[in-house]
Amino acid sequence: MTESPYDFDVLIVGSGLAGLSAALHLAPTHRVAVLTKRSMSDGSSNWAQGGIAAVLGEGDTFDSHVDDTLVAGAGLSDPAATRFVVEHAPESIAWLRELGVPFSQEAGHLHLTREGGHSARRIVHVTDATGAAVQRTMIEHVRRTPNITLFENHTLVDLVTSKKRGLPVNRCLGLYALDEETDEVLTFRAPHTILATGGAGKVYVYTTNPDTATGDGIAAAWRAGCRVTNMEFIQFHPTCLYHPLVKSFLITEAVRGEGGKLLLPDGTRFMPEHDERAELAPRDIVARAIDFEMKKHGLDCVYLDISHQPPEFIKEHFPTIHARCLELGIDITKQPIPVVPAAHYTCGGIHTDLAGRTDLTGLHAIGETAYTGLHGANRLASNSLVECMVFARSASQDIMATPLPAPPDVPAWDESRVTDADESVVISHNWDELRRFMWDYVGIVRTNKRLERAAHRIRLLQDEIQEFYSAFHISRDLLELRNLVQVADLIVRSAQARHESRGLHFSRDYPEMSADPKPTILTP
Protein backbone atom coordinates (compact mmCIF):
# COMPACT_ATOMS: atom_id res chain seq x y z
CA MET A 1 0.00 0.00 0.00
CA THR A 2 1.36 3.44 -0.86
CA GLU A 3 2.40 5.77 1.92
CA SER A 4 -0.09 8.48 2.85
CA PRO A 5 0.62 11.93 4.34
CA TYR A 6 -0.93 10.62 7.54
CA ASP A 7 1.44 7.69 8.02
CA PHE A 8 3.54 7.83 11.19
CA ASP A 9 5.46 5.56 13.53
CA VAL A 10 3.43 6.65 16.55
CA LEU A 11 0.07 8.42 16.86
CA ILE A 12 -0.52 10.25 20.15
CA VAL A 13 -4.05 11.43 20.89
CA GLY A 14 -4.01 14.21 23.48
CA SER A 15 -1.72 17.17 24.17
CA GLY A 16 -1.59 17.21 27.96
CA LEU A 17 1.44 16.35 30.06
CA ALA A 18 1.20 12.61 29.29
CA GLY A 19 0.93 13.01 25.52
CA LEU A 20 3.59 15.69 25.15
CA SER A 21 6.02 13.84 27.44
CA ALA A 22 5.67 10.73 25.29
CA ALA A 23 6.13 12.78 22.12
CA LEU A 24 9.40 14.27 23.38
CA HIS A 25 10.73 10.88 24.50
CA LEU A 26 9.90 9.26 21.14
CA ALA A 27 10.89 12.07 18.75
CA PRO A 28 14.62 11.23 18.55
CA THR A 29 13.86 7.83 16.97
CA HIS A 30 10.25 7.89 15.71
CA ARG A 31 8.00 10.00 13.48
CA VAL A 32 5.28 11.18 15.86
CA ALA A 33 1.87 12.75 15.25
CA VAL A 34 0.15 14.54 18.14
CA LEU A 35 -3.60 14.99 17.62
CA THR A 36 -5.60 17.27 19.89
CA LYS A 37 -9.21 18.27 19.44
CA ARG A 38 -8.73 21.92 20.28
CA SER A 39 -5.53 23.90 20.82
CA MET A 40 -2.40 22.44 22.40
CA SER A 41 -3.09 24.02 25.80
CA ASP A 42 -6.81 23.23 26.20
CA GLY A 43 -6.51 20.03 28.24
CA SER A 44 -6.76 19.39 31.98
CA SER A 45 -2.99 19.47 32.58
CA ASN A 46 -2.99 23.19 31.86
CA TRP A 47 -5.53 23.72 34.64
CA ALA A 48 -3.67 21.82 37.38
CA GLN A 49 -2.88 24.24 40.19
CA GLY A 50 -1.42 22.29 43.08
CA GLY A 51 1.74 20.55 41.95
CA ILE A 52 3.60 17.29 41.47
CA ALA A 53 4.32 14.81 44.28
CA ALA A 54 7.85 13.42 44.60
CA VAL A 55 10.16 12.40 47.45
CA LEU A 56 12.74 15.18 47.46
CA GLY A 57 12.72 16.61 50.99
CA GLU A 58 15.07 15.75 53.84
CA GLY A 59 13.66 12.95 55.97
CA ASP A 60 11.02 11.95 53.43
CA THR A 61 11.09 8.40 52.04
CA PHE A 62 9.69 6.34 49.17
CA ASP A 63 8.03 4.08 51.74
CA SER A 64 6.21 7.06 53.26
CA HIS A 65 4.93 8.25 49.85
CA VAL A 66 3.86 4.69 49.00
CA ASP A 67 2.04 4.33 52.33
CA ASP A 68 0.23 7.65 51.92
CA THR A 69 -0.91 6.61 48.42
CA LEU A 70 -2.12 3.22 49.63
CA VAL A 71 -4.04 4.80 52.51
CA ALA A 72 -5.73 7.32 50.20
CA GLY A 73 -6.46 4.51 47.72
CA ALA A 74 -8.56 2.81 50.41
CA GLY A 75 -7.20 -0.69 49.89
CA LEU A 76 -7.47 -0.78 46.09
CA SER A 77 -4.19 0.77 44.96
CA ASP A 78 -1.86 -1.77 43.36
CA PRO A 79 1.34 -1.87 45.50
CA ALA A 80 3.64 -2.63 42.56
CA ALA A 81 2.25 0.19 40.40
CA THR A 82 2.37 2.57 43.35
CA ARG A 83 6.03 1.84 44.11
CA PHE A 84 6.86 2.05 40.39
CA VAL A 85 5.47 5.60 40.18
CA VAL A 86 6.88 6.79 43.51
CA GLU A 87 10.41 5.55 42.79
CA HIS A 88 10.45 7.12 39.32
CA ALA A 89 8.93 10.44 40.43
CA PRO A 90 12.20 12.25 41.33
CA GLU A 91 13.72 11.57 37.89
CA SER A 92 10.55 12.98 36.31
CA ILE A 93 10.98 16.21 38.27
CA ALA A 94 14.64 16.33 37.26
CA TRP A 95 13.62 15.93 33.60
CA LEU A 96 11.15 18.81 33.85
CA ARG A 97 13.82 21.00 35.45
CA GLU A 98 16.16 20.14 32.55
CA LEU A 99 13.43 21.30 30.16
CA GLY A 100 13.30 24.59 32.05
CA VAL A 101 10.11 24.41 34.16
CA PRO A 102 10.47 27.31 36.66
CA PHE A 103 9.54 25.53 39.90
CA SER A 104 9.11 27.73 42.97
CA GLN A 105 12.25 28.06 45.06
CA GLU A 106 13.01 28.90 48.67
CA ALA A 107 16.52 29.64 49.92
CA GLY A 108 17.99 28.22 46.72
CA HIS A 109 16.09 24.91 46.92
CA LEU A 110 12.81 23.62 45.51
CA HIS A 111 9.94 24.84 47.68
CA LEU A 112 7.94 21.81 48.80
CA THR A 113 4.38 22.26 49.98
CA ARG A 114 2.06 19.75 51.63
CA GLU A 115 -1.41 18.66 50.58
CA GLY A 116 -4.19 16.57 52.08
CA GLY A 117 -3.28 12.92 52.68
CA HIS A 118 0.49 13.49 52.52
CA SER A 119 2.57 12.92 55.65
CA ALA A 120 5.37 15.21 54.48
CA ARG A 121 6.06 18.25 52.33
CA ARG A 122 6.72 16.71 48.92
CA ILE A 123 4.74 18.79 46.41
CA VAL A 124 6.89 20.71 43.92
CA HIS A 125 4.98 23.54 42.30
CA VAL A 126 5.07 26.76 40.31
CA THR A 127 3.16 28.98 42.79
CA ASP A 128 -0.49 27.94 42.25
CA ALA A 129 -0.33 27.43 38.47
CA THR A 130 1.91 24.40 38.10
CA GLY A 131 0.07 22.76 35.22
CA ALA A 132 0.07 25.91 33.11
CA ALA A 133 3.80 26.46 33.64
CA VAL A 134 4.66 22.85 32.82
CA GLN A 135 2.44 22.84 29.72
CA ARG A 136 3.89 26.13 28.49
CA THR A 137 7.41 24.71 28.73
CA MET A 138 6.46 21.41 27.11
CA ILE A 139 4.63 23.06 24.21
CA GLU A 140 7.66 25.27 23.48
CA HIS A 141 9.88 22.17 23.23
CA VAL A 142 7.37 20.16 21.18
CA ARG A 143 6.84 22.95 18.63
CA ARG A 144 10.55 23.12 17.87
CA THR A 145 11.32 19.39 17.96
CA PRO A 146 11.84 17.68 14.59
CA ASN A 147 9.88 14.47 13.98
CA ILE A 148 6.77 15.77 15.81
CA THR A 149 3.82 16.86 13.65
CA LEU A 150 0.95 18.63 15.41
CA PHE A 151 -2.68 18.30 14.38
CA GLU A 152 -4.76 20.77 16.36
CA ASN A 153 -8.57 20.82 16.03
CA HIS A 154 -8.58 17.11 15.15
CA THR A 155 -11.10 15.01 17.10
CA LEU A 156 -10.71 11.24 17.51
CA VAL A 157 -13.60 9.43 15.82
CA ASP A 158 -12.57 5.82 16.44
CA LEU A 159 -9.63 3.46 16.52
CA VAL A 160 -9.11 1.17 13.54
CA THR A 161 -8.45 -2.45 14.49
CA SER A 162 -7.60 -5.53 12.46
CA LYS A 163 -10.57 -7.37 14.01
CA LYS A 164 -12.93 -4.88 12.40
CA ARG A 165 -11.22 -5.73 9.11
CA GLY A 166 -11.76 -9.48 9.56
CA LEU A 167 -8.10 -10.33 10.29
CA PRO A 168 -7.31 -13.16 12.77
CA VAL A 169 -4.99 -11.25 15.17
CA ASN A 170 -6.50 -8.14 16.71
CA ARG A 171 -4.24 -5.10 16.82
CA CYS A 172 -4.57 -1.35 16.49
CA LEU A 173 -3.84 -0.13 12.96
CA GLY A 174 -4.45 3.58 13.42
CA LEU A 175 -7.44 5.87 13.79
CA TYR A 176 -9.98 8.12 12.15
CA ALA A 177 -10.00 11.80 13.15
CA LEU A 178 -12.32 14.67 12.24
CA ASP A 179 -10.46 17.72 10.89
CA GLU A 180 -12.70 20.55 12.03
CA GLU A 181 -11.24 23.08 9.64
CA THR A 182 -12.16 21.04 6.55
CA ASP A 183 -14.98 18.99 8.16
CA GLU A 184 -13.28 15.91 6.70
CA VAL A 185 -12.56 12.60 8.43
CA LEU A 186 -8.89 11.72 7.92
CA THR A 187 -7.30 8.27 8.11
CA PHE A 188 -4.14 8.06 10.23
CA ARG A 189 -1.99 4.91 10.07
CA ALA A 190 0.71 3.80 12.51
CA PRO A 191 1.97 0.60 14.15
CA HIS A 192 1.71 2.30 17.55
CA THR A 193 -1.03 4.49 19.01
CA ILE A 194 -1.02 6.15 22.43
CA LEU A 195 -4.25 7.38 24.00
CA ALA A 196 -3.53 10.32 26.31
CA THR A 197 -6.98 11.87 26.12
CA GLY A 198 -7.55 12.71 29.79
CA GLY A 199 -10.61 12.06 31.92
CA ALA A 200 -14.37 12.40 31.68
CA GLY A 201 -15.38 15.15 34.12
CA LYS A 202 -17.81 16.69 31.64
CA VAL A 203 -20.17 13.76 32.21
CA TYR A 204 -21.24 15.80 35.28
CA VAL A 205 -22.89 19.21 35.34
CA TYR A 206 -20.43 20.55 37.95
CA THR A 207 -16.77 19.88 37.22
CA THR A 208 -13.35 21.46 37.56
CA ASN A 209 -12.41 20.04 34.14
CA PRO A 210 -12.16 21.90 30.84
CA ASP A 211 -14.70 21.25 28.09
CA THR A 212 -12.31 18.76 26.45
CA ALA A 213 -12.70 16.16 29.26
CA THR A 214 -15.29 13.97 27.52
CA GLY A 215 -13.81 10.49 27.97
CA ASP A 216 -12.89 10.10 24.29
CA GLY A 217 -10.04 7.63 24.78
CA ILE A 218 -11.87 5.46 27.31
CA ALA A 219 -14.91 5.16 25.04
CA ALA A 220 -12.85 4.48 21.91
CA ALA A 221 -10.73 1.82 23.64
CA TRP A 222 -13.87 0.13 24.99
CA ARG A 223 -15.40 0.03 21.50
CA ALA A 224 -12.12 -1.45 20.22
CA GLY A 225 -12.28 -4.32 22.73
CA CYS A 226 -10.21 -3.10 25.71
CA ARG A 227 -11.15 -3.72 29.34
CA VAL A 228 -11.84 -0.76 31.61
CA THR A 229 -11.38 -0.82 35.38
CA ASN A 230 -12.70 1.05 38.45
CA MET A 231 -14.87 3.54 36.58
CA GLU A 232 -17.10 3.98 39.66
CA PHE A 233 -14.35 5.96 41.38
CA ILE A 234 -14.86 9.56 40.23
CA GLN A 235 -13.02 12.00 42.44
CA PHE A 236 -15.00 15.06 43.40
CA HIS A 237 -12.66 17.90 44.30
CA PRO A 238 -13.93 19.39 47.56
CA THR A 239 -13.31 23.01 46.62
CA CYS A 240 -14.44 24.45 43.31
CA LEU A 241 -15.22 28.18 43.30
CA TYR A 242 -18.96 28.78 43.64
CA HIS A 243 -19.85 31.86 41.61
CA PRO A 244 -22.59 32.53 39.02
CA LEU A 245 -20.16 34.09 36.55
CA VAL A 246 -17.51 31.37 36.68
CA LYS A 247 -17.46 27.65 35.87
CA SER A 248 -14.76 25.09 36.54
CA PHE A 249 -12.37 27.25 38.60
CA LEU A 250 -10.62 24.99 41.08
CA ILE A 251 -9.33 26.19 44.44
CA THR A 252 -6.19 24.13 44.94
CA GLU A 253 -5.74 21.63 47.75
CA ALA A 254 -2.65 23.61 48.76
CA VAL A 255 -4.89 26.33 50.26
CA ARG A 256 -5.94 23.78 52.88
CA GLY A 257 -2.36 22.50 53.04
CA GLU A 258 -1.21 25.98 54.03
CA GLY A 259 -3.81 26.34 56.79
CA GLY A 260 -7.11 27.11 55.03
CA LYS A 261 -10.20 26.28 57.12
CA LEU A 262 -13.61 25.12 55.87
CA LEU A 263 -16.49 27.04 57.42
CA LEU A 264 -20.26 27.20 57.45
CA PRO A 265 -21.82 30.58 56.57
CA ASP A 266 -21.90 31.53 60.28
CA GLY A 267 -18.14 30.93 60.58
CA THR A 268 -18.36 27.52 62.28
CA ARG A 269 -15.55 25.12 61.36
CA PHE A 270 -16.94 21.63 60.63
CA MET A 271 -14.18 19.32 59.35
CA PRO A 272 -12.90 18.22 62.81
CA GLU A 273 -16.32 16.63 63.40
CA HIS A 274 -15.91 14.47 60.29
CA ASP A 275 -12.26 13.36 60.50
CA GLU A 276 -9.37 13.78 62.94
CA ARG A 277 -7.21 15.06 60.06
CA ALA A 278 -9.76 17.85 59.54
CA GLU A 279 -9.01 19.90 56.39
CA LEU A 280 -6.01 17.68 55.59
CA ALA A 281 -8.12 14.53 55.22
CA PRO A 282 -8.14 12.88 51.76
CA ARG A 283 -10.40 14.42 49.14
CA ASP A 284 -13.18 11.82 49.28
CA ILE A 285 -13.71 12.45 52.99
CA VAL A 286 -13.64 16.24 52.62
CA ALA A 287 -16.02 16.18 49.62
CA ARG A 288 -18.54 13.98 51.45
CA ALA A 289 -18.30 16.18 54.54
CA ILE A 290 -19.08 19.30 52.50
CA ASP A 291 -21.91 17.49 50.70
CA PHE A 292 -23.31 16.39 54.08
CA GLU A 293 -23.17 19.90 55.57
CA MET A 294 -24.72 21.50 52.47
CA LYS A 295 -27.64 19.06 52.53
CA LYS A 296 -28.03 19.21 56.29
CA HIS A 297 -28.24 23.02 56.35
CA GLY A 298 -29.75 23.59 52.89
CA LEU A 299 -26.69 25.51 51.67
CA ASP A 300 -25.63 26.46 48.16
CA CYS A 301 -21.96 26.39 49.23
CA VAL A 302 -19.55 26.43 52.16
CA TYR A 303 -16.52 28.69 52.66
CA LEU A 304 -12.75 28.20 52.59
CA ASP A 305 -10.89 30.76 54.67
CA ILE A 306 -7.15 31.49 54.39
CA SER A 307 -7.45 35.13 55.47
CA HIS A 308 -5.68 34.50 58.80
CA GLN A 309 -2.42 34.18 56.86
CA PRO A 310 -0.48 37.42 56.09
CA PRO A 311 -1.57 39.07 52.81
CA GLU A 312 1.98 38.81 51.45
CA PHE A 313 2.00 35.05 52.08
CA ILE A 314 -1.32 34.60 50.26
CA LYS A 315 -0.28 36.69 47.25
CA GLU A 316 3.06 34.86 46.99
CA HIS A 317 1.66 31.33 47.28
CA PHE A 318 -1.69 31.75 45.51
CA PRO A 319 -1.36 34.60 43.00
CA THR A 320 -3.69 33.04 40.41
CA ILE A 321 -6.48 32.36 42.90
CA HIS A 322 -6.02 35.78 44.53
CA ALA A 323 -6.21 37.60 41.19
CA ARG A 324 -9.20 35.62 39.86
CA CYS A 325 -11.21 36.03 43.05
CA LEU A 326 -10.37 39.73 43.19
CA GLU A 327 -11.81 40.13 39.67
CA LEU A 328 -15.05 38.71 41.09
CA GLY A 329 -15.06 41.03 44.11
CA ILE A 330 -13.65 38.51 46.61
CA ASP A 331 -10.47 39.58 48.44
CA ILE A 332 -9.16 36.30 49.84
CA THR A 333 -6.73 38.15 52.12
CA LYS A 334 -9.82 39.41 53.99
CA GLN A 335 -12.74 37.18 52.96
CA PRO A 336 -13.46 33.45 52.74
CA ILE A 337 -13.92 31.81 49.33
CA PRO A 338 -17.36 30.27 48.50
CA VAL A 339 -16.74 26.67 47.38
CA VAL A 340 -18.65 23.50 46.34
CA PRO A 341 -17.48 19.99 45.43
CA ALA A 342 -17.19 19.26 41.69
CA ALA A 343 -16.23 16.28 39.54
CA HIS A 344 -12.49 16.45 39.23
CA TYR A 345 -10.64 13.25 38.35
CA THR A 346 -11.39 9.87 36.78
CA CYS A 347 -9.53 7.31 38.90
CA GLY A 348 -10.44 4.39 36.65
CA GLY A 349 -9.94 3.99 32.93
CA ILE A 350 -8.44 1.77 30.25
CA HIS A 351 -6.77 -1.24 31.86
CA THR A 352 -2.97 -1.07 31.37
CA ASP A 353 0.23 -2.62 32.65
CA LEU A 354 3.39 -0.87 33.86
CA ALA A 355 4.42 -0.19 30.25
CA GLY A 356 1.10 1.46 29.43
CA ARG A 357 0.05 -1.50 27.26
CA THR A 358 -3.69 -2.12 26.81
CA ASP A 359 -5.44 -5.35 25.79
CA LEU A 360 -5.06 -4.34 22.14
CA THR A 361 -1.65 -4.90 20.54
CA GLY A 362 -0.21 -1.63 19.26
CA LEU A 363 -2.32 0.49 21.64
CA HIS A 364 -1.00 2.17 24.78
CA ALA A 365 -2.89 4.41 27.21
CA ILE A 366 -1.31 6.87 29.64
CA GLY A 367 -2.40 9.64 31.99
CA GLU A 368 -5.91 10.10 33.32
CA THR A 369 -7.48 7.99 30.57
CA ALA A 370 -5.63 4.90 31.87
CA TYR A 371 -6.10 2.66 34.88
CA THR A 372 -2.60 1.77 36.11
CA GLY A 373 -3.51 0.66 39.62
CA LEU A 374 -1.93 3.71 41.26
CA HIS A 375 -5.03 5.54 42.45
CA GLY A 376 -7.20 2.70 43.71
CA ALA A 377 -10.45 3.97 45.17
CA ASN A 378 -9.23 7.56 45.57
CA ARG A 379 -6.38 9.61 44.10
CA LEU A 380 -3.88 11.14 46.49
CA ALA A 381 -3.38 14.83 45.74
CA SER A 382 -0.68 15.68 43.17
CA ASN A 383 -0.07 12.05 42.17
CA SER A 384 -1.68 12.55 38.77
CA LEU A 385 0.88 14.70 36.95
CA VAL A 386 3.75 12.48 38.04
CA GLU A 387 1.80 9.41 36.88
CA CYS A 388 1.52 11.07 33.45
CA MET A 389 5.28 11.48 33.19
CA VAL A 390 6.31 8.10 34.61
CA PHE A 391 4.02 6.15 32.27
CA ALA A 392 4.81 8.37 29.29
CA ARG A 393 8.42 7.33 29.73
CA SER A 394 7.69 3.63 30.29
CA ALA A 395 5.29 3.45 27.32
CA SER A 396 7.82 5.23 25.12
CA GLN A 397 10.56 2.80 26.17
CA ASP A 398 8.26 -0.12 25.35
CA ILE A 399 7.52 1.30 21.90
CA MET A 400 11.20 2.02 21.21
CA ALA A 401 12.03 -1.60 22.07
CA THR A 402 9.46 -2.92 19.56
CA PRO A 403 10.44 -3.32 15.88
CA LEU A 404 8.44 -1.14 13.51
CA PRO A 405 6.28 -3.19 11.12
CA ALA A 406 5.20 -1.95 7.71
CA PRO A 407 2.33 0.59 7.58
CA PRO A 408 -0.97 -1.25 8.04
CA ASP A 409 -3.67 -1.33 5.38
CA VAL A 410 -6.48 0.95 6.62
CA PRO A 411 -9.56 1.84 4.56
CA ALA A 412 -10.64 5.45 4.14
CA TRP A 413 -13.63 6.74 6.12
CA ASP A 414 -16.91 6.02 4.35
CA GLU A 415 -19.72 8.53 4.70
CA SER A 416 -21.44 7.80 1.42
CA ARG A 417 -24.69 6.79 3.12
CA VAL A 418 -25.14 9.71 5.55
CA THR A 419 -26.80 13.11 5.24
CA ASP A 420 -26.62 16.46 7.01
CA ALA A 421 -28.35 16.52 10.38
CA ASP A 422 -31.76 18.17 10.40
CA GLU A 423 -32.12 18.48 14.20
CA SER A 424 -28.76 19.35 15.77
CA VAL A 425 -30.60 20.69 18.81
CA VAL A 426 -31.09 17.02 19.82
CA ILE A 427 -27.38 16.85 20.63
CA SER A 428 -27.40 19.81 23.03
CA HIS A 429 -30.59 18.61 24.73
CA ASN A 430 -29.18 15.12 25.25
CA TRP A 431 -25.87 16.56 26.51
CA ASP A 432 -27.69 18.64 29.14
CA GLU A 433 -29.95 15.77 30.19
CA LEU A 434 -27.04 13.35 30.59
CA ARG A 435 -24.92 15.66 32.73
CA ARG A 436 -27.84 16.61 34.96
CA PHE A 437 -29.04 13.08 35.75
CA MET A 438 -25.45 11.86 36.26
CA TRP A 439 -25.01 14.62 38.86
CA ASP A 440 -28.32 13.79 40.55
CA TYR A 441 -28.13 9.98 40.42
CA VAL A 442 -24.43 9.04 40.19
CA GLY A 443 -22.77 11.77 42.25
CA ILE A 444 -21.00 11.86 45.61
CA VAL A 445 -23.61 9.68 47.37
CA ARG A 446 -25.36 6.88 45.44
CA THR A 447 -28.23 4.41 45.91
CA ASN A 448 -29.39 1.35 43.97
CA LYS A 449 -32.55 3.17 42.89
CA ARG A 450 -30.63 6.19 41.61
CA LEU A 451 -28.25 3.96 39.64
CA GLU A 452 -31.18 2.05 38.10
CA ARG A 453 -32.77 5.33 37.01
CA ALA A 454 -29.51 6.48 35.46
CA ALA A 455 -29.02 3.16 33.66
CA HIS A 456 -32.51 3.38 32.15
CA ARG A 457 -31.94 6.92 30.90
CA ILE A 458 -28.56 5.96 29.47
CA ARG A 459 -30.07 3.10 27.43
CA LEU A 460 -32.58 5.48 25.87
CA LEU A 461 -29.89 8.02 25.06
CA GLN A 462 -27.58 5.38 23.58
CA ASP A 463 -30.26 4.22 21.15
CA GLU A 464 -31.06 7.77 20.08
CA ILE A 465 -27.41 8.77 19.69
CA GLN A 466 -26.47 5.65 17.73
CA GLU A 467 -29.32 6.32 15.31
CA PHE A 468 -28.10 9.90 14.92
CA TYR A 469 -24.47 8.76 14.49
CA SER A 470 -25.40 6.22 11.81
CA ALA A 471 -27.57 8.54 9.73
CA PHE A 472 -25.84 11.93 9.75
CA HIS A 473 -22.51 13.60 9.13
CA ILE A 474 -20.53 13.62 12.36
CA SER A 475 -19.50 16.68 14.34
CA ARG A 476 -17.31 17.17 17.40
CA ASP A 477 -20.41 17.75 19.54
CA LEU A 478 -21.92 14.45 18.40
CA LEU A 479 -18.65 12.56 18.93
CA GLU A 480 -18.26 13.97 22.44
CA LEU A 481 -21.86 13.17 23.35
CA ARG A 482 -21.45 9.61 22.03
CA ASN A 483 -18.33 9.18 24.16
CA LEU A 484 -19.86 10.73 27.29
CA VAL A 485 -22.89 8.45 27.14
CA GLN A 486 -20.59 5.44 26.75
CA VAL A 487 -18.50 6.56 29.74
CA ALA A 488 -21.64 7.22 31.79
CA ASP A 489 -22.74 3.66 31.06
CA LEU A 490 -19.37 2.32 32.26
CA ILE A 491 -19.53 4.43 35.45
CA VAL A 492 -23.04 3.22 36.30
CA ARG A 493 -22.29 -0.44 35.51
CA SER A 494 -19.17 -0.30 37.66
CA ALA A 495 -21.05 1.39 40.52
CA GLN A 496 -23.79 -1.25 40.36
CA ALA A 497 -21.18 -4.01 40.55
CA ARG A 498 -19.60 -2.70 43.78
CA HIS A 499 -21.68 -3.81 46.77
CA GLU A 500 -19.81 -1.78 49.38
CA SER A 501 -18.74 1.78 50.14
CA ARG A 502 -15.08 2.51 49.56
CA GLY A 503 -13.08 5.61 48.75
CA LEU A 504 -14.92 7.72 46.20
CA HIS A 505 -17.82 5.29 45.84
CA PHE A 506 -20.34 5.76 48.66
CA SER A 507 -23.62 3.80 48.55
CA ARG A 508 -26.40 4.21 51.08
CA ASP A 509 -27.51 0.64 50.30
CA TYR A 510 -24.04 -0.79 51.02
CA PRO A 511 -22.52 1.59 53.62
CA GLU A 512 -19.90 -0.88 54.93
CA MET A 513 -16.50 -1.74 53.45
CA SER A 514 -15.93 -5.24 52.12
CA ALA A 515 -13.27 -7.33 53.84
CA ASP A 516 -11.83 -8.46 50.51
CA PRO A 517 -11.99 -5.61 47.96
CA LYS A 518 -11.29 -6.22 44.28
CA PRO A 519 -11.01 -3.86 41.32
CA THR A 520 -14.12 -3.61 39.15
CA ILE A 521 -13.06 -4.88 35.72
CA LEU A 522 -15.51 -4.61 32.81
CA THR A 523 -14.90 -6.59 29.60
CA PRO A 524 -16.56 -5.62 26.27
Q: List the catalytic residues.
A: 283
Helix, strand, coil shares, percent, the chain, to 5: 40, 20, 45
3-class secondary structure, 304: strand
- Bridge partners of 521, per DSSP, are 229
Taking the C-alpha atoms of residue 499 and residue 492, their distance in angstroms, rounded to an integer, is 13
Number of H helices, E strands in the chain: 13, 21
CB atoms within 10 A of CB 148: 22
Contact 240, 248 (CB under 8 A): yes
∠ CA 259-60-277, rounded to 5°: 35
Q: 457: Cβ–Cβ under 8 A, 6 or more apart, which residues?
A: 433, 434, 437
Taking the C-alpha atoms of residue 199 and residue 342, their distance in angstroms, rounded to an integer, is 14
CB atoms within 10 A of CB 509: 13
**CA distances (Å), 34 to each of 15, 154, 189, 212, in order?**
7, 10, 13, 16
CB atoms within 10 A of CB 390: 26
Phi, psi of 346 (to 5 degrees): -95, 105
The alpha carbon dihedral of 454, 457, 459, 465 has a sign of: negative
For 187, the enclosing helix (H) or strand (E) is strand 184-189
CA 383 to chain centre: 12
Taking the C-alpha atoms of residue 432 and residue 269, their distance in angstroms, rounded to an integer, is 35
Where b means 16+ CB within 10 Å and e means fewer, 287-315 reads bbbbbebbeeeebebbbbbbbebeeeebe
Taking the C-alpha atoms of residue 149 and residue 301, their distance in angstroms, rounded to an integer, is 45
